[in-house]
């Protein structure tokens, strides 16, 4: 989901009153003695409000001081009848740029504490907007005394408790938004008294119980959002009688039952229906056709069954139909008439029928759907037969997923006409024959998955024309011949290249070194021969390399030592020879190494990955010796010169014994000291968060199934899970990071993350729900950290989208990018200055910035974090044990020289992140070499070739959306982009002391945001 525009952008575009000022104004009244004069009261109240803002000396309130009368202060309006009394606070005309976002611009991250009860004194208040702050506690009952209140917005805070019944005394309320808090209890039935209510949004809270049927009497209601709560039961039939309803959302609750057949009969104006992630069952009612204005229809993740009614084709304005993950059926040809009916939906852009019970043949009428269609998924069904021959008619299709079905035959030649296609998957079907060479015409392709079919012949060299390809899957087929060199010239390949389980032969081409950004290469179970190419060491980002079950010969090339991020290496069942190189033990990330069934000889190293018997496999190499005892190898013989040295034997042995005794004593002493100084991770963690058991996490993640795997890193794998309310303190969806304890440094990472986060709380940091320090089912140590689940994934996924998992084109506009950068800057300000103890993150990058359902950014992954000792500007860590800290491309240059971690290092990483946000390029992109970095790339162009470095998607969007609105507006946005580039350059200065602190970054971003607005 993209960041949604806040409703007051539209509803309050002409409004100038900033009534949240008034709230705090009356709060401060309560602190003034009754004997004070009115003028003193008002002046003190205004100054009290100013003192509560994070940066009161800047912007609108800069001139709020005693050097002039408060009635002349910007935004202050005094009464004509009582010239000394303040009647309202307004945005002055000269600050008209802030009108549309007046509350958000001035209140975000500035208001904290609880909402004061004294606000009840403002009886003339009509609009109260305290949204997007850090307010805590309950909503005071005094809100019910605001009899003239029309608009109440308290969303995006940390409010708790129940919705106060007194709120229903404010009978004039038309707009009520309490979403994104921690409100609990049931929805008050008394809300029915708010007869003027048009907009009711209670989403993303902890509300429980059933939806009151009485709410069906709110005849003026147009927007009703109850999504992401813990509601149960049925949707009351009375709600279907609200004729003015335009948006109805109840997704992700525990609601059940069937939708009544008359459900949509009285909803002619309904535009949005979102009922996904519930327990609804039964048929989709044919009365849906009466809601003729519906454009967004989403019922996924329920238990709907039966045939999809043909009446859906009468929804002429429909552009989004997502009914995936249900039990819907199509068995006979007439059941597929749904597809023909959808021809009438000329605006249809997304059609998702995936994960249902559809069977039979896909009708040819699929090719006649709207030319507007960009997303089509019918994956995970039981559809057979061939793909319609004319599917190429869907010329604007960008995402096509036919995976996990029973399709047969060959791929139709018309596929080559889908020039906009970016993601195409036929994974796990029964397709056969040759892949047409015209497939190479799809030059916009990012993700191509032909795995698990019976394709044969040679891999077409025309795949090399797909110069935007990020991932390619051709495994588990019958491909023969050599691997086309052209594939290795696709320099954008940065995900996975999967060629396994085929009949490929010949050597691995030297051109593999062109894939600088490749993360995973799988070519196992083929007939590949020759030596492992030395150029593979140029794939600097490679993490997983699987070449087992081939006929490779020669030694392991020394160039593999350059793969510092290598995690898995499997070269088993080949004809490799020579000694096992020691450099494999120096690759700190390597935790799985399989060299079995080759012809290796000599001594096995005993450090790094070789120190863990469960992480290394060397069986089937009969001439190996040494290694750790757990490998059960014969000791390597000590070959001495043939001359008689009997006289030397005794002193040598004596010296060795003495040395070993001394070393053993020192080791035991150091171990005792280390144990006395090192906290048990579970004890460290338990102070702030209750622990959870291993079995609970097994249940939550379905046994840590691959289906729930979100990603894997150096020290751990992350799974999506669902905890019950008791275990998760009312948290439902979570992300579970399971530590790879056999990886060197993983336990240290666990301790660091627990220590860094256990006492910290900020809206822009990933929140820890709980942790686990236990043993698994095999009796091995098990440690995991449980976080809040972030539905929109990482920022990296939005900047560099992998179309395999997207349901719409992922794109961030300029304001969204600035808002995310602000969120990250606020997080850094808190970590460096405002938290319980200063913390250096040490690994800030786009993949560690996670986005929640509202596209608010949260900084995560504190596995490398360091707490700064009081009185120091850098983390307490010796240079010898620090090593290289961070990620290549983001890490500050001084870290490479062994300097200690510091806040300046985080600012450098932030600067690179800013440049990545504006240019759309990773600092490790293939266009950058040792001579040219992302920073130098921008620095060379920022003065006269700015448009050359701005993300093409962003620049074209600015051009398309703003140029028609006027050259001045367009130029203002370009100025904002230039300012962002300069900010990134300033933050990434080579000299640490030249980088600006987080506080100044926030000021600069707020100024940029104001310019854009």
If phi > 0 it is left, if psi is from -120 to 50 it is alpha, else beta; for residue 433 that is left
Average pLDDT over residues 369-373: 92
**Do 835 and 733 fall within a single domain?**
no
- Structural domain of 706: 680-789
pLDDT higher than 90, residue 504: yes
CA-to-CA distance for 802 and 469, rounded, in angstroms? 10
pLDDT higher than 60, residue 21: no
Cα dihedral across residues 912, 893, 982, 829: positive or negative: positive
- Per the domain annotation, does 39 fall within a domain? yes
**Do 825 and 781 fall within a single domain?**
no
Higher pLDDT, 995 or 730: 995
Domain boundary among 757, 789, 821: 789
Q: How confident is the model at residue 638 (pLDDT cuts 50, 70, 90)?
A: low
Q: Can you read off the two tokens belonging to residue 807?
A: 């349901």
Residue 240, pLDDT score: 82
CB 52, CB 110: distance < 8 Å: yes
- Per the domain annotation, does 784 fall within a domain? yes
**Do 827 and 956 fall within a single domain?**
yes
Please report, for the domain that includes residue 920, its CATH number: 1.10.510.10
pLDDT higher than 60, residue 236: yes
Any residues with CB less than 8 A from the CB of 786 and at least 6 apart, and which? Answer: 692, 697, 721, 723, 728, 734, 735, 736, 737, 768, 769, 770, 771, 772
Residue 18, pLDDT score: 37
Q: How confident is the model at residue 30 (pLDDT cuts 50, 70, 90)?
A: very low
CB 981, CB 988: distance < 8 Å: no
Asked which of 306-320, 589-603, 641-655 is least confident by mean pLDDT, the reply is 641-655
Q: Return phi, psi of residue 770, to 5°.
A: -165, -175
Question: What is the average pLDDT score of the chain?
Answer: 79
Average pLDDT over residues 369-379: 93
- Per the domain annotation, does 911 fall within a domain? yes
Average pLDDT over residues 423-437: 94
Any residues with CB less than 8 A from the CB of 24 and at least 6 apart, and which? Answer: 45, 48, 49, 52, 111, 116
Higher pLDDT, 53 or 214: 214
CB 889, CB 964: distance < 8 Å: no
**Do 63 and 177 fall within a single domain?**
yes
**Do 905 and 765 fall within a single domain?**
no
Q: Return phi, psi of residue 514, to 5°.
A: -70, -20
Cα dihedral across residues 51, 53, 57, 61: positive or negative: negative
pLDDT higher than 90, residue 34: no
Residues labelled as active-site residues: 843
Q: How confident is the model at residue 956 (pLDDT cuts 50, 70, 90)?
A: low
Q: To the nearest whole percent, how much of the chain has pLDDT over 90?
A: 36
Pairing of strands 733-739, 709-712: unpaired
pLDDT higher than 70, residue 149: yes
Asked which of 377-386, 407-416, 550-559, 835-844 is least confident by mean pLDDT, the reply is 835-844
**Do 992 and 938 fall within a single domain?**
yes
CA-to-CA distance for 495 and 802, rounded, in angstroms? 9
Q: Give the range with max mean pLDDT: 79-83, 728-732, 940-944.
A: 940-944
- Per the domain annotation, does 904 fall within a domain? yes
pLDDT higher than 70, residue 918: yes
Q: How confident is the model at residue 651 (pLDDT cuts 50, 70, 90)?
A: very low
- Per the domain annotation, does 216 fall within a domain? no
CB 121, CB 34: distance < 8 Å: no
Residue 911, pLDDT score: 94
Q: How confident is the model at residue 73 (pLDDT cuts 50, 70, 90)?
A: confident
Residue 94, pLDDT score: 34
**Do 663 and 685 fall within a single domain?**
no
Pairing of strands 76-78, 86-89: antiparallel
Higher pLDDT, 47 or 259: 259
Residue 29, pLDDT score: 36
Q: What is the per-residue pLDDT across 409-426, written as a single tens digit (0 to 9) for each?
A: 999 999 999 999 999 999
Residue 893, pLDDT score: 84
- Per the domain annotation, does 446 fall within a domain? no
Residue 569, pLDDT score: 95
Residue 259, pLDDT score: 84
CA-to-CA distance for 764 and 766, rounded, in angstroms? 7
CB 229, CB 251: distance < 8 Å: no
Average pLDDT over residues 625-651: 65
Q: How confident is the model at residue 123 (pLDDT cuts 50, 70, 90)?
A: low
Domain boundary among 188, 213, 245: 188
**Do 686 and 779 fall within a single domain?**
yes
pLDDT higher than 60, residue 869: no
**Do 652 and 663 fall within a single domain?**
yes
pLDDT higher than 70, residue 153: yes
Residue 171, pLDDT score: 85
pLDDT higher than 80, residue 1001: yes
Average pLDDT over residues 253-277: 83
Average pLDDT over residues 206-226: 89
- Per the domain annotation, does 690 fall within a domain? yes
Average pLDDT over residues 77-99: 48
**Do 672 and 772 fall within a single domain?**
no
Higher pLDDT, 745 or 577: 577
Residue 672, pLDDT score: 38
Higher pLDDT, 574 or 994: 574
CA-to-CA distance for 998 and 861, rounded, in angstroms? 19
Q: What is the per-residue pLDDT across 658-669, written as a single tens digit (0 to 9) for each?
A: 444 444 444 444
pLDDT higher than 80, residue 52: no
Higher pLDDT, 958 or 943: 943
Mapping DSSP onto H, E and C, the string for 492-508 reads CCCCEEECCCCEEEECC
pLDDT higher than 90, residue 433: yes
**Do 878 and 903 fall within a single domain?**
yes
- Per the domain annotation, does 319 fall within a domain? no
Residue 712, pLDDT score: 75
How many Å separate Cα 755 from the centre of its chain? 23
pLDDT higher than 70, residue 487: yes
Asked which of 1-15, 281-295, 474-488, 515-529 is least confident by mean pLDDT, the reply is 1-15
**Do 934 and 851 fall within a single domain?**
yes
Asked which of 156-170, 215-229, 337-351, 967-981 is least confident by mean pLDDT, the reply is 967-981
Classify residue 378 by burial, with Cβ atoms within 10 Å: 0-12, 13-18, 19+: buried
Domains held by the chain: number: 4
Q: Give the range with max mean pLDDT: 100-104, 147-151, 475-479.
A: 475-479
Higher pLDDT, 624 or 69: 624
pLDDT higher than 70, residue 280: yes
Q: What is the pTM of this model?
A: 0.58
CB 856, CB 764: distance < 8 Å: yes
Q: What is the per-residue pLDDT across 812-837, written as a single tens digit (0 to 9) for each?
A: 888 899 999 999 998 898 888 877 77
pLDDT higher than 70, residue 379: yes
pLDDT higher than 90, residue 20: no
Q: Can you read off the two tokens belonging to residue 577?
A: 């020879």
Residue 119, pLDDT score: 62
Residue 761, pLDDT score: 73
Classify residue 511 by burial, with Cβ atoms within 10 Å: 0-12, 13-18, 19+: middle
**Entry field: residues in the chain:** 1013
Please report, for the domain that includes residue 712, its CATH number: 3.30.200.20
Residue 809, pLDDT score: 59
C-beta contacts of 54-63 below 8 A and 24+ residues apart: 54/109, 54/110, 55/110, 55/1002, 55/1003, 58/1003, 59/106, 59/1006, 60/91, 60/95, 60/98, 60/106
Output Rg (C-alpha) for the chain, integer angstroms.
Answer: 32
Domain boundary among 188, 208, 225: 188
Classify residue 612 by burial, with Cβ atoms within 10 Å: 0-12, 13-18, 19+: middle
If phi > 0 it is left, if psi is from -120 to 50 it is alpha, else beta; for residue 326 that is beta
Residue 1006, pLDDT score: 87
């Amino acid at each position: 989901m993209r960041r949604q525009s806040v409703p007051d952008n539209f509803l309050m575009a002409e409004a100038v009153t900033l009534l949240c000022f008034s709230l705090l104004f009356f709060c401060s009244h309560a602190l003034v003695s009754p004997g004070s004069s009115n003028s003193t009261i008002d002046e003190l109240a205004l100054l009290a409000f100013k003192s509560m803002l994070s940066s009161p000396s800047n912007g609108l309130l800069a001139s709020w001081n005693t050097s002039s009368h408060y009635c002349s202060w910007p935004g202050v309006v005094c009464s004509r009848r009582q010239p000394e009394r303040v009647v309202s606070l307004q945005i002055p005309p000269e600050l008209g740029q802030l009108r549309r976002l007046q509350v958000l611009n001035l209140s975000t991250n500035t208001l904290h504490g609880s909402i004061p009860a004294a606000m009840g004194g403002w009886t003339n208040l009509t609009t109260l907007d305290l949204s997007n702050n850090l307010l805590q506690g309950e909503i005071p009952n005094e809100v019910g005394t605001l009899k003239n209140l029309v608009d109440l917005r308290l969303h995006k805070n940390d409010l708790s408790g129940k919705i106060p019944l007194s709120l229903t005394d404010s009978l004039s309320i038309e707009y009520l938004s309490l979403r994104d808090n921690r409100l609990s209890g049931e929805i008050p039935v008394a809300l029915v008294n708010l007869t003027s209510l048009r907009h009711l949004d209670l989403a993303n809270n902890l509300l429980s119980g059933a939806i009151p049927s009485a709410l069906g009497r709110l005849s003026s209601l147009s927007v009703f959002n109850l999504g992401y709560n813990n509601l149960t039961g049925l949707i009351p039939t009375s709600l279907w009688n609200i004729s003015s309803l335009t948006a109805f959302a109840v997704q992700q609750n525990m609601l059940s039952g069937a939708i009544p057949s008359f459900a949509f009969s009285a909803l002619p104006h309904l535009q949005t229906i979102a009922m996904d992630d519930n327990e609804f069952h039964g048929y989709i009612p044919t009365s849906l056709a009466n809601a003729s204005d519906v454009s967004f229809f989403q019922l996924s993740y329920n238990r709907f069954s039966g045939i999809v009614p043909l009446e859906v084709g009468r929804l002429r304005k429909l552009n989004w139909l997502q009914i995936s993950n249900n039990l819907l059926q199509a068995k006979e040809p007439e059941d597929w008439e749904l597809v023909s009916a959808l021809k009438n939906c000329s605006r249809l852009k997304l059609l998702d029928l995936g994960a249902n019970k559809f069977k039979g043949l896909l009708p040819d009428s699929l090719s006649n759907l709207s030319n507007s269609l960009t997303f089509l998924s019918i994956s995970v069904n039981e559809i057979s037969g061939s793909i319609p021959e004319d599917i190429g008619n869907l010329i604007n299709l960008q995402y096509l997923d036919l995976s996990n079905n029973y399709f047969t035959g060959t791929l139709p030649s018309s596929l080559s006409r889908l020039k906009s296609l970016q993601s195409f998957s036929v994974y796990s079907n029964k397709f056969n024959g040759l892949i047409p060479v015209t497939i190479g015409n799809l030059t916009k392709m990012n993700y191509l998955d032909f795995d698990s079919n019976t394709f044969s012949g040679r891999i077409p060299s025309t795949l090399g024309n797909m110069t935007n390809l990020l991932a390619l899957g051709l495994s588990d087929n019958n491909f023969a011949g050599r691997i086309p060199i052209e594939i290795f010239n696709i320099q954008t390949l940065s995900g996975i290249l999967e060629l396994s389980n085929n009949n490929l032969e010949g050597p691995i081409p030297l051109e593999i070194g062109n894939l600088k950004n490749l993360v995973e290469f799988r070519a196992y179970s083929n007939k590949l021969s020759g030596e492992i190419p030395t150029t593979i060491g140029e794939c600097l980002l490679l993490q997983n390399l699987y070449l087992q079950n081939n006929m490779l010969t020669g030694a392991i090339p020394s160039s593999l030592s350059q793969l510092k991020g290598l995690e898995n290496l499997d070269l088993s069942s080949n004809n490799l020879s020579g000694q096992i190189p020691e450099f494999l033990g120096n690759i700190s990330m390597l935790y799985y190494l399989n060299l079995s069934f080759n012809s290796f000889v000599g001594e096995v190293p005993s450090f790094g990955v070789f120190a863990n018997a469960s992480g290394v496999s060397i069986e089937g190499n009969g001439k190996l010796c040494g290694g750790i005892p757990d490998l059960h190898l014969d000791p390597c013989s000590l070959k001495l010169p043939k001359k008689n040295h009997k006289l030397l034997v005794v002193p040598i042995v004596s010296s060795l014994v003495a040395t070993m005794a001394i070393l053993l004593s020192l080791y035991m002493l150091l171990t005792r000291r280390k144990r006395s100084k090192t906290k048990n991770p579970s004890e460290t963690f338990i102070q702030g968060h209750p622990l959870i058991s291993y079995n609970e996490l097994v249940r939550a993640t379905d046994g840590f199934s691959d289906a729930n795997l979100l990603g894997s890193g150096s020290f751990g794998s992350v799974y999506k899970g669902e905890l019950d309310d008791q275990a998760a303190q009312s948290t439902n969806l979570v992300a579970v990071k399971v530590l790879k304890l056999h990886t060197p440094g993983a336990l240290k990472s666990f301790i660091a993350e627990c220590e860094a986060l256990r006492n910290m709380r900020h809206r822009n940091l990933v929140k820890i729900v709980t942790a686990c320090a236990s043993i698994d089912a095999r009796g091995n140590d098990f440690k995991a950290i449980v976080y809040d689940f972030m539905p929109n994934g990482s920022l990296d996924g939005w900047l560099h989208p992998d179309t395999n998992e997207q349901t719409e084109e992922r794109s961030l506009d300029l304001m969204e990018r600035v808002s995310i950068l602000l969120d990250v800057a606020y997080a850094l300000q808190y970590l460096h200055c405002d938290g319980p103890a200063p913390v250096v993150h040490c690994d800030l990058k786009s993949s560690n910035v996670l986005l929640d359902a509202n596209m608010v950014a949260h900084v995560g992954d504190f596995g490398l974090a360091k707490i700064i000792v009081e009185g120091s500007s850098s983390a307490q860590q010796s240079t010898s044990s620090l090593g290289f800290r961070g990620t290549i491309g983001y890490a500050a240059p001084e870290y490479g020289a062994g300097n200690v971690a510091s806040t300046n290092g985080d600012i450098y990483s932030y600067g690179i992140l800013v440049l990545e946000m504006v240019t759309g390029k990773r600092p490790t992109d293939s266009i950058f070499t040792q001579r040219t970095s992302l920073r130098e790339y921008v620095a060379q162009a920022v003065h006269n070739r700015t448009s050359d470095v701005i993300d093409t998607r962003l620049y074209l969007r600015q051009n398309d959306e703003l140029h028609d609105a006027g050259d001045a507006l367009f130029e203002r946005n370009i100025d904002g982009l230039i300012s962002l580039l300069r900010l990134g350059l300033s933050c990434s200065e080579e000299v640490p002391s030249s980088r600006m602190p987080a506080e100044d970054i926030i000021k600069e971003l707020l100024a940029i945001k104001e310019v854009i607005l």
